[in-house]
Amino acid sequence: MSEPLQLSDAARLASSARIPDIARAAGVSTATVDRVLNGRDGVRAVTAQRVLQAAAQLGYLLTPAAPVVSTAKPPRIAFLLPAGTNRYLRMLGDYIEFAHEQWSALGMKCRVHYVESFNPNELADRLLHYGQRADGVVFMALEHPVVRDAVNTLADQGIPAITLISDLSNSRRLAYVGIDNRAAGRTAALLLGRFMGPRPSGKIAMLAGSLNYRGHEEREIGFLHLIESTFPQVRVIGLREGHDDSERNYRQTRKLLEEHPDLAGIYNSGGGSDGVARAIVEARSEQKILFVGHGLTPDTRALLIDGTMDALITQTPQAMVGNCLRIFGNVRDRRDALSDVKPVQFSIVLRENLP
């Protein structure tokens, strides 16, 4: 009679690991673990990374109720993110790379590639390049004909593309994953307008990463429309593009404050908020300069805590990545692409409700 088969230590661990084990290893609640493993929002990126690391170390792959993953070759998903100093996008890229084992367990193979920011020709070239080497592409779209043509070429070749954070009009992209950017701009306007109160000066300024991003353009439209309709006494003095660069935003803000020493508030609809904050601090204005921005990262968290930033609008990386992979999973399983995919919601973060 043959000896019974013996499981290796890793196999025994993988077969016994459960959500409470991951929660103990990561130092979080079981509810937090459940949110992370199922790609739901409401969890800080650094906490999500700790949970995924604990899950990987424990050999946890799927919950008992989860469907069995096909043994077929996992789809290769290429994430194309803008290169540069945008800390939120870097955090998003780190999250995708760090959770590589988790995506593999869910039947996906994800890689991140950084492309030159604000260059539509380069983005189009990279879309075609990585599209030939992947089963699906996720990218932050620049609104430009060459980018649209590249997406349509991939669609002709049966390679689906998902736009992330910023959409692309009149293209054959599979889906858009991100927040309602016009609503985000309106929300920023409402926050600034309410925070200002009965101030003698009604001047506010707006900075954008680039209006070549449809998402930033939509934020501008929403912002200006609500200011005009709800706070007619407020004057928006101009729009400047900072290309998500801290130093460029610093220079833009310094110039704004020199030209308008009575400036009451600033809305930064893109990245590089630390540059805006540095200029505000150096200005030492007699009145508090209100500051609303986007993207919860370690630097913007610190700005909220010290009071330089008053509020920010953010969405969690795990919610966006989770939606992208659900969409590709639906395509793989021959279901409707948006089946069980919930819209990405944004949160308003203040110093007193920091997650």
Whole-angstrom distance, CA of residue 119 vs CA of residue 147: 10
* pTM of this structure: 0.79
* Residue 242: closest CA among 267, 222, 271: 271
HSE on the CB side for 290, CA within 13 Å?
24
Instruction: Report the sign of the C-alpha dihedral through residues 331, 118, 218, 183, in that order.
Output: positive
Whole-angstrom distance, CA of residue 79 vs CA of residue 111: 6
CATH 3.50.50.60 fits 76-178+325-336, yes or no: no
Domain limits, the chain: 9-58, 76-178+325-336, 181-314
Read off the tokens for 96. 């995708």
Domain 9-58: homologous superfamily in CATH: lambda repressor-like DNA-binding domains (1.10.260.40)
DSSP, collapsed to helix, strand or coil, labels residue 165 as coil
Domain spanning 181-314, CATH architecture = 3-Layer(aba) Sandwich (3.40)
Read off the tokens for 94. 């780190």
Instruction: Report the sign of the C-alpha dihedral through residues 199, 205, 207, 210, in that order.
Output: positive
**CA–CA–CA angle 269, 303, 321 (5° rounding):** 55
What is the residue-level pLDDT of the chain in tens, covering all 355 positions?
433 333 334 434 444 567 888 888 888 888 888 878 776 666 776 677 778 878 777 766 544 334 433 446 789 999 999 998 899 999 999 999 988 777 887 789 999 999 998 999 999 999 999 999 999 999 999 999 999 999 999 999 999 999 999 999 999 999 999 999 999 999 999 999 999 988 766 899 999 989 899 999 999 999 999 999 999 999 999 888 999 999 999 999 999 999 999 999 999 999 999 999 999 999 988 889 999 999 999 999 999 999 999 999 999 999 999 999 999 999 998 999 999 999 999 999 999 999 8
Q: Determine phi and psi for 259, rounding to 5 degrees.
A: -75, -30
* Residue 128: closest CA among 157, 108, 168: 157
Query: Could you tell me the CA-to-CA distances from 305 to 5, 190, 289, 299 in Å, in that order?
Result: 57, 21, 15, 10
Decide whether 76-178+325-336 matches 181-314 in CATH topology.
yes
DSSP, collapsed to helix, strand or coil, labels residue 210 as coil
First-to-last alpha carbon distance for the chain, in angstroms, is 59
